[in-house]
Chain A
Amino acid sequence: MHYLDASKGDEILQDLVAIIMENRTYLSEVDGAIGDGDHGINMAKGFRQCGEAIDGQSLSLAKGLGKLASVLMGSIGGSMGPLYGSLFLGMATTVKDKEIVDPQTFGDMLAGGLASLQDISDAQVGDKCLLDTLVPAVEAYQAALVDGADFAGALERMRQSAEQGKESTRDLVSKIGRSARLGERSRGHLDAGAVSCCLLLTQLADSTEARLQPRAA
């Protein structure tokens, strides 16, 4: 059985910062089709600030995620500030005091983040938003564990479902946020929040998998 050493939080957080910074322009282009075109700018601003705040520090996963949440909620605003802020805060709370993250704890962390986000938003799967990526990804991870998958196997199922969930938004008509005003005209375009969520979950899976350590049974 494998586990993640939770003291590596700063490294994982810097990976998340990097993936958003690298996709700043891409996220704004996706958003430009049916929104303001500022999703990449706002996300990059928040993640850059988080990266600067934790630069050179050694942080637990809980502390790193908590820092990201407070920066997003405290400085980027918009819809994404509270949504992602709540998501990462919920994740941070779940792994607080954990020294190791085993496959079950990782699943609890995902579920805790989702529950926290749903506490401030009534959005549903199918509304064309980040939940279309997040919900199937979390469910797939947990289903994989039930099926007997190991940590890496469950992360792979999460990545696949996140990707499928993101792609599913292309054919949806937006029911929430600013793009909801577009009605049918929102069909045919990816949702920017679903795209950024897919980037983050995929990177979280990659970064976790790269740091998995074997544990004596």
Chain B
Amino acid sequence: MQRIINDPDNVVDDAVRGYLRASPTLYAATDHPRVLKYAGEPRNKVGVVTGGGSGHEPAFLGYVGEGLCDAVAIGEIFSSPTADAFFQAFDAANQGRGVACLYGNYAGDNMNVKLARKMAELEDIEVQTVVARDDVASAPADQRDKRRGVAGEIMMWKIGGAAAARGDNLNEVIRLAQKAVDACSSIGAGLSSCTIPANGKPNFSIEPGKMELGIGHHGEPGIEITDLPSARKMAATLCKPVLEDRPFKRGDEVAVLVSGLGATPVMELNLLYAEIADILDEAGIKVHRTYIGNYFTSLEMMGATLTLMQLDDELKTLLDAPARSLALSQ
């Protein structure tokens, strides 16, 4: 394991210290060491909170900022933040108009958010939640509630964050974040394993020359292991299940997010995108906006995820709204 660390057990806390020191205009510390809040002035709006395990950087803390999230709960590597951290994040984000907690569908997150909501109730902080379920590989379309949240979560933060920033009330922010999630379909392809620092060895293995389609953000096994294809074939392999997940039709407009899993060069992500764009052209689908880069990673896993969000005018307006954060500025 070739890593820049002090103590493998303190990787997360040491990293948080770095983010705070590097970006003081974005991040402010709170009373909780695993909770950061946006350093900008509160604006009497609905608070937007997210949270999740570390190891997915720039998710989750990279999406704290203007037009995005107001506070983030930070967990151990690949492990949910505590209930206390979620609660402190609610408290930090609350500006008197309630809090929208937008997170992914993982057992630990579900339980800790549930406990944190009980704590918030005692403090009269109104919290509503939306759970991202965009990973088409994790369950069939008729069992959407079982699906994991992956990179589609970013679209949920963007849409929900923009709605909150323009002054929408809590019910409206929740409705729009839910609409964003419902419009997203994602799939990932892994080309190598990742290593949790405290474990010191790879979590699993993908043989050289192989690709695992449908792999999860923690290395959850995918739906198929194939020979590593050309970028052109890989694009087709990724597009097929995503396009089939919902009734896309000619003339539809989409946002495309191609995220690296941590170790794939951005050059290759763009190379892959060119092939994806060709496929969307052929299907008559118009790309309204594109995001390419390391948006939601899995430590140093090689590979990429593809997310398509089907757009309408309401979503387009919010997607195009300005945002400023470490991971997403437009």
Q: Report the contact-size class of chain B (Cβ under 8 Å from the partner).
A: 20 to 34
Provide the bound-state CA to CA distance between A37 and B84, in Å.
Answer: 24
B82 proximity list for chain A (CB < 8 A) = 73-77, 81
Residue A121 at the B interface, CB < 8 A? yes
A211 proximity list for chain B (CB < 8 A) = none
Give min CB distance, A48 to chain B, whole Å.
10
Residue B196 at the A interface, CB < 8 A? yes
Residue A177 at the B interface, CB < 8 A? yes
Contact B115 A176 (CB under 8 A): no
Contacts known (A45-B9, A181-B148); A82 close to B115, Cβ less than 8 A: yes
Contacts known (A37-B203, A38-B77, A73-B84); A78 close to B138, Cβ less than 8 A: no
Provide the bound-state CA to CA distance between A158 and B138, in Å.
Answer: 37
Contacts known (A45-B9, A120-B114); A36 close to B196, Cβ less than 8 A: yes
Residue count of chain A within 8 Å CB distance of chain B: 28
Give min CB distance, A124 to chain B, whole Å.
14
Provide the bound-state CA to CA distance between A158 and B79, in Å.
Answer: 31
Contact B198 A41 (CB under 8 A): yes
Residue A79 at the B interface, CB < 8 A? yes
Contact B138 A181 (CB under 8 A): yes
Residue B177 at the A interface, CB < 8 A? no
Provide the bound-state CA to CA distance between A77 and B82, in Å.
Answer: 4
Give min CB distance, B181 to chain A, whole Å.
19
Residue A1 at the B interface, CB < 8 A? no
Provide the bound-state CA to CA distance between A36 and B201, in Å.
Answer: 11
Contacts known (A36-B218, A181-B221); A81 close to B112, Cβ less than 8 A: yes
Residue B85 at the A interface, CB < 8 A? yes
Contacts known (A181-B216, A182-B220); A77 close to B115, Cβ less than 8 A: no
Residues in B218-233 with C-beta less than 8 Å from chain A: 218-221
Residues in B73-90 with C-beta less than 8 Å from chain A: 75-85
Residues in B159-207 with C-beta less than 8 Å from chain A: 196, 198-199, 203
Residues in A162-217 with C-beta less than 8 Å from chain B: 176-178, 181-182, 185
Contact B79 A77 (CB under 8 A): yes
Contact B79 A78 (CB under 8 A): yes
Provide the bound-state CA to CA distance between A176 and B105, in Å.
Answer: 12
Contact B83 A181 (CB under 8 A): no
B114 proximity list for chain A (CB < 8 A) = 82, 120
Provide the bound-state CA to CA distance between A121 and B9, in Å.
Answer: 28
Provide the bound-state CA to CA distance between A80 and B80, in Å.
Answer: 10
- Closest Cβ neighbor of B86 among chain A residues: A77
Give min CB distance, A10 to chain B, whole Å.
24
B216 proximity list for chain A (CB < 8 A) = 181
A80 proximity list for chain B (CB < 8 A) = 108
Provide the bound-state CA to CA distance between A78 and B218, in Å.
Answer: 13
Residue B106 at the A interface, CB < 8 A? yes
Residue B267 at the A interface, CB < 8 A? no
Provide the bound-state CA to CA distance between A65 and B330, in Å.
Answer: 50
Contact B79 A38 (CB under 8 A): yes
Contact A38 B83 (CB under 8 A): no
Residue A42 at the B interface, CB < 8 A? yes
A120 proximity list for chain B (CB < 8 A) = 111, 114-115
- Closest Cβ neighbor of A129 among chain B residues: B107
Contacts known (A73-B84, A82-B112, A120-B111); A185 close to B76, Cβ less than 8 A: no
Contacts known (A42-B76, A181-B148); A79 close to B111, Cβ less than 8 A: yes
User: Could you list 10 examples of A-B contacts with CB < 8 Å?
Assistant: A36-B203, A38-B198, A41-B199, A74-B83, A78-B80, A81-B83, A82-B114, A85-B83, A178-B218, A181-B138
Q: Give the interface of A toward B (CB within 8 A).
A: 28, 32, 36-38, 41-42, 45, 73-83, 85, 120-121, 176-178, 181-182, 185
The 8 closest A-B pairs by CB, nearest first: A78-B79, A79-B108, A77-B82, A82-B111, A181-B220, A177-B107, A78-B108, A74-B84
